[in-house]
Structure 1
Amino acid sequence: MGVARGEETSGLPLEVFDPSPVGVLVTEGKEHRLVYLNDALRAMFGDRPLGTPVREAFSNLLQQDSLSLFDRVLETGEAVRRDQATARVACPSGGSQERFFHYSLSKIPLPGGKSGVLQVIVEVTEQFVATRRMRTLAREQRRLLRRYQSLIWVNAHTVWVSDPSGRFREVSPDWKKMTGQTREEYRGYGWLQVVHPEDRASIMDAWLRAAEEVPPLIEQVFRVRVLDGTYRHFRLRAVPVCKDGAVVEWVGASTEIEQEWQENRCRKLLDRAAAAVADITDLEEMFQALADVIVPELADACHIHLLPELADSFSDVFVTERIATAVRAGLPRMLRRQKAHHPSDSEFMRAVRERRPVYLSFPPGEPPPYYDAKARVWITEARAHSQTIIPVVVQGEVAAVVVAAVCGDRPSIDPADVELMGQILDHTHDALGMALRFRRTQRVALALQHSLLAEPPHVPGMEIAARYQASPAAAEIGGDWYDAFTLPGGAVEVAIGDVAGHDLAAAVWMSQVRNMVRALAVDRDEPPGDILHRLDTALETLNGETTTVTCVLGRLEAAGDGAWRLTYAVAGHLPPLLVTHDGDSRFLREADNPLLGLVFHDRPWISAVVPLPPASTLLLYTDGLVEQRGEDLDRGLDRLRRYAESLAGEPLNGFCDGLLTSMPMTGEDDVALIALRVPPIG
């Protein structure tokens, strides 16, 4: 270190600074010549020759103001401190690096009565860089926070802070702009006062669950009353702020999503309506499915009226049939299958004539005077206050009318909801058109079918009843038929049969077969088996295409002493059932013959004769009464026998109706039956 390392200052050697971890240098005199450098300083800046003025020794490091500080400290004796001084220091690998230091200057006495300056230097480059990094991070954090807040303000109407239980502490000013609530009104749970009453319970339940479970995100959709008094849908999203594992507050945002909610609702209802009618062909079932979509989503009640065909909409009173009803829980029920009368000057008829929706409002429970008595009773009990009447136009004509109503405290039907109901009906237009055509075709077919079936004759002492039930699953006319007529000698001829097929051709052929049976039975007095034989020959000759026919033909005649007997023959048909007055029964299987029209049959056609006990019932029927898909036919026949025995004591009409209501029919085929009950003795 040279001479200076052995010198002393006021008896204290300068070597005392050698082990110091901070840099130390000492200068002497007004020229500030170096008299001491410790190892830490040399490590910072490199070695410098002693005796050299500090200006020259550190010319590449010291700034002008630093040199003036040396002069001031030496002259005044006042110590000086500087923080975060910078110096560019050479690197061992070449080049230079900016480094940061703290230093202090103080006056120090030297041997010989001289004075000098002691400089203590601490390098703080790492600390400064870390501090600068932290400041940069803080600035970036503030920038990101401002960006996040900006995004929230762009996408949310309100930003708020609540306590762990959902009590609002702070809310952005937009809350007041939207709802009119002041700070005093919304604080705590006051904000719930502008939430729709029907949504408050679910929101509170969500907060209570969140307080226990602490999910990473709460999301709720609810309605808020805005300044104009209407309710609009908002989405609430909130995240927890936790400390030591406990929620200290929730930070959230609420965004209006009314348009998004309406669009989603519309799409869901249209999808529900399409799915509801997808697999339905019956018009009444289809309208009932649509009424169930409308209630309770769009209205509290909905009933649908079917308009009569070829009706005059300008008559004084218009009569419709209510075929579908749906009512929200808690309201009085409405009966289906009821007639309704509508005066020509009613709003109902205005909707029919103008083919556009009509809206009407009235005091709760006080309907307009032109409503019929049943409608007035329901409106009064349900406290209905507004209705919309929507005509259903199918294929250019008004086929039905939808009447939707709201009741009690529910707001009046919104025009957007009326439009949505119209969209639902339009969305299902094709399905409704097909169902309407099916219904009309089925009615025409049924009317034609009944016109081809004769009324049973009146026979003194004998009861005769017949039933025909068309398949609800098919619009075409079927080939089932029955017949009963009296012969010249007083005997009663009875027949039932089924022509293969389920279309107009089958019905026409059925009518021809029935007429041929009548002609052949009247032509000559012969057993039913022989008549069926001649019928088979006629079918083979007249029928250009192979069509099979089943048939039962029987003749009932008095046997003397008030007794009756049956002579019968069966051609490929189900066996007749004989039920006694006491409830015993058996199938008649003694006269089976082949199917008519199937193959040439050269064997004799057989007939059988059985006595009929007094007050017994003879039942002829077609397969639609007993057949079940995938079930053995014998089970269906056994089921028919048991039901028939249980109804043996009923009047003949009750006997027939009881079979139709008791037997589990599939509805895939028509059902025809004819029953004859012979008189008791005497």
Structure 2
Amino acid sequence: MVDDRQEGDGGIAPEAFDAAPVSVAVIRGPERRLAYTNLAFRATFGERPIGEPVRHAFRDLVQHDYFDLLDRVLADGEPVTLAEAPVSLFFPDTGYEQRFFSFSLTRLPGDEPAVLAVGVDVSGSVDTARRADAADEQRRALRRFQSLIRVSAEIVWVTDPAGYPVEPSPGWERVTGQSWERFRGRGWQRALHPEDREETARSWERALAQARPWRYVVRLRTVEGDYRHFQVNAAPVYENGVVVEWVGTCTDIEQEWRREHRRRLLDGAGAATAERTGLREMLGALADVLVPALADGCGVHLLPDYIDRPAGAPLLTERVATAARPDLPRQPPFGREWYAADSGFTRAVQRSRPLHHTFPPGRPPAGMLPQGTTEWLAAANANSVVLMPVTVDGTVAAVVTAAVCGEREPLSREDVDLMRQMFDHAHDALSSAIEYHRTQRVALALQHSLLAEPPVVPGLEIAARYRASPATAEVGGDWYDSFVLPDGAAVLAIGDATGHDLAATVAMSQLRNILRSLIVDRQECPGDVLRRLNIAMETLIPEGSATCALARVADGGPDGMRLDYAVAGHPPPVLVCPDGSVDLLEDAANPLLGLGPLFDEPYHSAQVRLPPGCTVLLYTDGLVERPGEHLDKGLERLCEQAGRFARRPLPAFCDGLLTRLPTAGIDDLAMIALRVPPDGGEAIGVARS
């Protein structure tokens, strides 16, 4: 009997197919419902729901275009036959996989359209044929590969499936000098550069585990004792789907590697100079290109006074950049060094030719480089060093020292030539940066010449600091001043004339001189002095404006030292007590200088007692201002750091603020600080930087 879910059709009794050894199904009606499946069909495809649309019954079928074939047979009545067609779906005996079937679709007669589907699983024969074809193709590929390597590769080798050599390699022995006894096992790894061995072994093990072709670049030690770059290519050889051996080649690519290495270094040098304008930053970036690509350590020195240096005089250098491999110590990036006129360093500069030395590891020649550099070379186990003058616009402007350390191959003549090409490649950018740097040095010297030395004041200590903006080569308007009045009182002043050009410096100089005259002219409080300065500016500097903080420190009798101060548009002075407490002195704030008739009101002064051991700090806005941030944030940072440094010596107090405060770097900054000695302490000392 036929399942009552499976209906007969057009003269064909479905039960006739029940015992058929092939898969049989009937699909009927405009909705393409599955009407019948025989035992072989159900054994192959599982129990599919009778009465459901065939697309739903076989929704796991990947090849949806077979449903389109069914529609076509129903539409035009032409039968379709496919041989070795892939069928990907869920099979009850194996799960989801792809098999191959030869099947036909035939339209059945009758009032209602129906299709008879008959299929045979031919996966076994297809797999056998494909394996045979794959084996033939593999044999052909192996023959081609063997023919190719015989004519193109210098070294050919064969290993077992675990990656161990199974036969001698004449090419390997000819290139590396390793005999078969030394080559076999993992002995071949001893011919690799020590820095390459670990990573090469890991890469080779990954290729073996994945049974995938291996392509790698290694450095091999040749019979001449040097290292050359070789391209390694290896591929697994299969038999019956199993890896039975590996065949590989090593081809010398040293020249190609050097050309690519040179291109990368020159491109890196070009990028380093194109993206920077400051000379120090540019030279630092070039040092980072050299290390570790060409050297393990590098230092760059400028020669600021070389052009004007008298004959026979020592040579001054400024170290402006250093670089070192991560596992090596690094020299400080900044510092000054002097070289005797007859030193190897000075002679190399005078001749404008590189000085190249190779030596036993850790034993650099004495007298060629400064003591600090020589000690670094010994500690880093260096084996070679190059001292290369860098000529810009016909003059030696800098000197680059580069060293190679450990077991790395010493610097060669080709390496020295590549260093020279790097800096020649950057010549135009270096020329502009050096001119910029020289202008900045002249501007800085001019600025310092206009700043007064703090006086020696018995009972007090005074320190001053000035830092030019690294973002501009022009002089600015920041200034400070201090002197002692006839009555013994100490005066501190600090200010900022608007602008960052020569006009600002001229205005700064005029303001300082006018202020000095007004202070000495008559004995009056700081606020009155600033008011008169504002009036004077209307006539003498009509287009200018400025800020200023003025303070007078004197003995207040039994109450100790007293501070009288006034501020005109300037950040407030800071009073730092020995216990770390900090106060902003904001009780004498007055308008900006240069307003003239717009402000004709009195300027206020304020007074505060100075406890023993306290510090008074006057500063310009470059110390506290940052773009996009409210000034109060900068003042909070200043007070916090000043409290931390309260008990440090005064010079260290000032230097700590310069070092720890995150300044924007786009403005000059100046500061002047006064320290009242503790009870029973002696004053002394003046510091300026």
Scaled by the length of structure 2, the TM-score of the pair is 0.69
Give the aligned partner of residue 508 of structure 2. Answer: 510
Partner of 2:294, secondary structure, is coil
Relative to structure 1, is the Cα distance of residues 518 and 139 closer, same or farther in structure 2, using a 3 angstrom cutoff?
closer
Distance 1:651 1:181 in 2: 67
Contact 1:159 1:171 in 2 (8 A): no
Shift of 1:549: 0.8
Distance 1:652 1:292 in 2: 37
Partner of 1:600, secondary structure, is helix
Give the aligned partner of residue 268 of structure 2. Answer: 272
Amino acid in the other structure paired with 2:292 = P
Matches within 5 A, 1:352-367: 352-367=349-364
Moved more, 667-676 or 269-278: 269-278
Relative to structure 1, is the Cα distance of residues 630 and 563 closer, same or farther in structure 2, using a 3 angstrom cutoff?
same
Moved more, 611-620 or 493-502: 611-620
Aligned counterpart in structure 1 of residue 229 of structure 2, from 221, 227, 233: 233
Give the aligned partner of residue 536 of structure 2. Answer: 538
Residue 649 (structure 2) pairs with residue 643 (structure 1): no
Distance 1:329 1:663 in 2: 28
Distance 2:532 2:581 in 1: 35
> CA offsets, 1:422-456, max 9 Å, x none?
12222333343344334333332222212111123
Partner of 1:261, secondary structure, is helix
Residue 197 (structure 2) pairs with residue 200 (structure 1): yes
Relative to structure 1, is the Cα distance of residues 253 and 628 closer, same or farther in structure 2, using a 3 angstrom cutoff?
same
Shift of 1:322: 4.0
Paired residues, number? 544
Contact 1:492 1:555 in 2 (8 A): yes
Moved more, 196-205 or 385-394: 196-205
Shift of 1:499: 0.9
Relative to structure 1, is the Cα distance of residues 591 and 365 closer, same or farther in structure 2, using a 3 angstrom cutoff?
closer
Shift of 1:232: 2.1
Give the aligned partner of residue 622 of structure 1. Answer: 620
Aligned counterpart in structure 1 of residue 495 of structure 2, from 497, 504, 513: 497
Residue 247 (structure 2) pairs with residue 251 (structure 1): yes
Relative to structure 1, is the Cα distance of residues 363 and 460 closer, same or farther in structure 2, using a 3 angstrom cutoff?
closer
Relative to structure 1, is the Cα distance of residues 579 and 234 closer, same or farther in structure 2, using a 3 angstrom cutoff?
closer
Amino acid in the other structure paired with 2:477 = G
Aligned counterpart in structure 2 of residue 220 of structure 1, from 205, 216, 219: 216
Aligned counterpart in structure 2 of residue 449 of structure 1, from 433, 447, 450: 447
Contact 2:385 2:401 in 1 (8 A): yes
Distance 2:249 2:677 in 1: 87
Amino acid in the other structure paired with 1:442 = Q
Amino acid in the other structure paired with 1:392 = V
Shift of 1:397: 1.4
Distance 2:616 2:379 in 1: 52
Contact 1:623 1:671 in 2 (8 A): yes
Amino acid in the other structure paired with 2:265 = L
Shift of 1:479: 0.8
Contact 1:306 1:323 in 2 (8 A): yes
Distance 2:610 2:647 in 1: 14
Relative to structure 1, is the Cα distance of residues 494 and 156 closer, same or farther in structure 2, using a 3 angstrom cutoff?
same
Relative to structure 1, is the Cα distance of residues 597 and 346 closer, same or farther in structure 2, using a 3 angstrom cutoff?
closer
Contact 2:494 2:620 in 1 (8 A): yes
Stretches of structure 1 lacking an aligned partner (at least 5 in a row): 1-137
Aligned counterpart in structure 2 of residue 398 of structure 1, from 392, 396, 399: 396
Amino acid in the other structure paired with 1:168 = P
Shift of 1:504: 1.8
Residue 153 (structure 2) pairs with residue 156 (structure 1): yes
Moved more, 535-544 or 505-514: 535-544
Contact 2:563 2:610 in 1 (8 A): no
Amino acid in the other structure paired with 1:518 = R
Relative to structure 1, is the Cα distance of residues 229 and 489 closer, same or farther in structure 2, using a 3 angstrom cutoff?
closer
Partner of 2:597, secondary structure, is coil
Contact 1:152 1:253 in 2 (8 A): yes
Contact 1:236 1:255 in 2 (8 A): yes
Stretches of structure 2 lacking an aligned partner (at least 5 in a row): 1-134, 681-689
Give the aligned partner of residue 47 of structure 1. Answer: none
Contact 1:553 1:568 in 2 (8 A): yes
Contact 1:313 1:353 in 2 (8 A): no
Aligned counterpart in structure 1 of residue 574 of structure 2, from 560, 572, 577: 577
Distance 2:136 2:609 in 1: 110
Shift of 1:150: 5.5
Relative to structure 1, is the Cα distance of residues 613 and 359 closer, same or farther in structure 2, using a 3 angstrom cutoff?
closer
Report the identity percentage: 54
Distance 1:179 1:564 in 2: 84
Distance 1:345 1:219 in 2: 53
> CA offsets, 1:91-138, max 9 Å, x none?
xxxxxxxxxxxxxxxxxxxxxxxxxxxxxxxxxxxxxxxxxxxxxxx9
Contact 2:575 2:616 in 1 (8 A): yes
Shift of 1:641: 2.8
Shift of 1:376: 4.9
Contact 1:165 1:207 in 2 (8 A): no
Aligned counterpart in structure 1 of residue 474 of structure 2, from 468, 473, 476: 476
Relative to structure 1, is the Cα distance of residues 301 and 552 closer, same or farther in structure 2, using a 3 angstrom cutoff?
closer
Give the aligned partner of residue 256 of structure 2. Answer: 260
Amino acid in the other structure paired with 2:218 = F
Contact 1:346 1:370 in 2 (8 A): yes
Amino acid in the other structure paired with 2:268 = R
Structural RMSD (CA):
3.7
Residue 654 (structure 2) pairs with residue 660 (structure 1): no
Distance 2:143 2:344 in 1: 59
Aligned counterpart in structure 2 of residue 595 of structure 1, from 564, 571, 592: 592
Contact 1:614 1:679 in 2 (8 A): no
Give the aligned partner of residue 286 of structure 2. Answer: 290
Moved more, 650-659 or 419-428: 650-659
Distance 2:190 2:199 in 1: 14
> CA offsets, 1:191-245, max 9 Å, x none?
5454434433333322322221112x21011123445443322212222222343
Distance 2:257 2:521 in 1: 78
Distance 2:643 2:572 in 1: 16
Give the aligned partner of residue 95 of structure 1. Answer: none
Relative to structure 1, is the Cα distance of residues 234 and 599 closer, same or farther in structure 2, using a 3 angstrom cutoff?
same
Give the aligned partner of residue 58 of structure 2. Answer: none
Residue 298 (structure 2) pairs with residue 302 (structure 1): yes
Moved more, 280-289 or 181-190: 181-190
Shift of 1:498: 0.7
Relative to structure 1, is the Cα distance of residues 584 and 147 closer, same or farther in structure 2, using a 3 angstrom cutoff?
closer
Partner of 1:628, secondary structure, is coil
Relative to structure 1, is the Cα distance of residues 203 and 644 closer, same or farther in structure 2, using a 3 angstrom cutoff?
closer
Distance 1:570 1:528 in 2: 8
Relative to structure 1, is the Cα distance of residues 604 and 157 closer, same or farther in structure 2, using a 3 angstrom cutoff?
same
Partner of 1:200, secondary structure, is helix
Amino acid in the other structure paired with 2:161 = P
Indicate the structure (1 or 2) with the bigger Cα radius of gyration.
Answer: 1
Shift of 1:285: 4.4
Relative to structure 1, is the Cα distance of residues 409 and 552 closer, same or farther in structure 2, using a 3 angstrom cutoff?
closer
Contact 2:305 2:316 in 1 (8 A): no
Distance 1:417 1:350 in 2: 21
Contact 1:565 1:609 in 2 (8 A): no
Amino acid in the other structure paired with 2:426 = T
Scaled by the length of structure 1, the TM-score of the pair is 0.70
Relative to structure 1, is the Cα distance of residues 490 and 436 closer, same or farther in structure 2, using a 3 angstrom cutoff?
same
Distance 1:149 1:275 in 2: 44
Amino acid in the other structure paired with 2:269 = A
Relative to structure 1, is the Cα distance of residues 543 and 485 closer, same or farther in structure 2, using a 3 angstrom cutoff?
same
Moved more, 609-618 or 375-384: 375-384
Contact 1:454 1:483 in 2 (8 A): yes
